[in-house]
Amino acid sequence: MRFLHKVEMTPSRSLAIQKNKKMKKHNFSAGPCILPQDVLQKASEAILNFNDDNLSLIEISHRSKAFVDVMEKARSLALELLGLEGKGYKALFLQGGASMEFLMVAYNLLNKKAAYLNTGTWSDKAIKEAKAFGEMVEVGSSKDKGYNYIPKSYSIPKDADYFHCTSNNTVAGTQIKEFPETDIPLICDMSSDIFSRQLNFEKFDLIYAGAQKNMGPAGATLVIIKEDILGKVERHIPSMLNYQIHIDKDSMFNTPSVFAVYVSMLTLQWLKDLGGIPFIEEVNNKKATLLYAEIDRNPLFKGIVAKEDRSTMNATFTLVDEKYKATFDKMWQEAGINGLNGHRSVGGYRASMYNALPLYSVQTLVDVMQELERKK
C-alpha cells in the first residue's frame, strides 16, 4: 500500500541514514505546517529554473502563459478533488488568509441577517466581522467551556442570509463530524481540514481555507464558491473584496501570490496522485487512532476535548502531573519532534497531523510517550 513519505529501506538507503544524523524532523506544527518532500523539492527547483526556461518562478510575469497555466491547473485540481467540477462552483486563490474571508463573506452575502456557530477562536473572529454588516445570530457556542466540544442542539433561522460554521478548531482540537441540513446557503471555514476527509461538498455553497495547513505555504487562500449565491446584497462592494470580480477575472484581478499558488498546485497534484481524498482520509484516520489510543491508555496523559468531537487533524492533550513536563519536553525534542507545544490559550500539547505528516512521525511521538511512562 502506498504511503506518505514512505522510506524504502534498501541497503544504500539504510547506510545513508546512518551517516546523516540531520534527518528531517517530525513536524507537528499547526501551521504553517509540514509539506510533502516531493513538493518541496519541485518548488525549490522552480525557484531556480521554472519550466527549464532559465527563469525563476518568482521573477516571471503573473500574466505569462506559464503562470496562467499554473493558476488554472490549481483551480481545476481543487474542484476535481472535491468532486465539484461542472456543478456551478468556481475556485479562487486569493490573499489575506481566512481572516480576510471573515470580512469578505459578510461583505458579499450578509444583507440583513446571518447565523453563525461559534466553536472556536476563528469562528469567534468571523462573528466579530459579521456584526459590522447586519444582524448576527449566534445559534450555538462552546465558548463557555473553552471550546472543548461542538454544540449539537441548535436551530438555524430560516430567514437568515446564510449559516456559517468552522469545520475544525485548530486551537482547541475539535471537529464537526456532521453538518446541519439547511435551506439557506451553507458557508464553511475549512482552513485546517480541507482535503483531509470525504464529505458531501455539494451541500456547501462557499468553502474557504488558508493554504498553510493542507495545501501549501502561507500567502494564498482557496475559496470555493457557488456562483448563484452572489449578487444579492444591496450594498456596494469594493472591487478587491468582491467575489464576482475575482471570478470574472479568473482569479487574476490583481497579482496573485505566485509561489504560494504554485506550491498549492503541486500539493493538490501530489494528493491526486496518491489517490485523492479517499486515500488520505484512511491514512489520517490511522494517525489519529494511533495517537488518541495512546492518550487514553497512558496514565500520564489526558485529552482536552470531548471524545466524540476530537479532531483528526489537531490532537490536544496534557500531562496529568506537570512534574513530568521538563522530562517529556526534553524527550520529544531529542526525538526530533517539532511544534508540539499547545496553543498559548489552551496550554498542554497539540499534535497537528495534516495530510503530509507520515504515520511513522506519529509512531515516534507515541514511542516517546510510552518511554516516559516506563521512566516514571
Report the chain's mean pLDDT, rounded to a whole number. 93
Radius of gyration of the chain (CA): 21
pLDDT at 7 over 70: no
CB 110, CB 162: distance < 8 Å: yes
The alpha carbon dihedral of 83, 87, 92, 96 has a sign of: negative
Given this model, what pLDDT does residue 376 score? 77
Is 191 inside any structural domain? yes
Q: Structural domain tally of the chain?
A: 2
Is 29 inside any structural domain? no
Same domain for 334 and 223: no
Is 264 inside any structural domain? yes
Bigger pLDDT: 143 vs 5: 143
Q: Examine the fold and report which residue of 215, 241, 273 is the final residue of a domain before the chain moves on.
A: 273
Angle of the 276-297 helix axis to the 258-274 helix axis, nearest 10: 90
Same domain for 342 and 226: no
Same domain for 247 and 116: yes
Tally the C-alpha atoms within 13 A of residue 272's C-alpha that lie toward its C-beta. 16
Same domain for 201 and 117: yes
Tally the C-alpha atoms within 13 A of residue 353's C-alpha that lie toward its C-beta. 33
pLDDT at 6 over 60: no
Domain boundaries, position 249? 44-273
Nearest to residue 224, comparing CAs of 124, 39, 87?
87
Same domain for 285 and 241: no
- Contacting residues for 135 by C-beta, under 8 A, at least 6 apart: 112, 113, 114
Burial 154-163 (b: 16+ CB within 10 A, else e): eebeeebbbb
Same domain for 107 and 220: yes
Active site residues: 122, 189, 213
Binned at pLDDT 50, 70 and 90, residue 106 comes out as very high
Average pLDDT over residues 66-90: 97
CB 301, CB 372: distance < 8 Å: no
Q: Which three cell numbers stand for residue 177?
A: 463530524
Collapsed DSSP state (helix, strand, coil) of residue 86: coil
Share of the chain above pLDDT 70, in %: 94
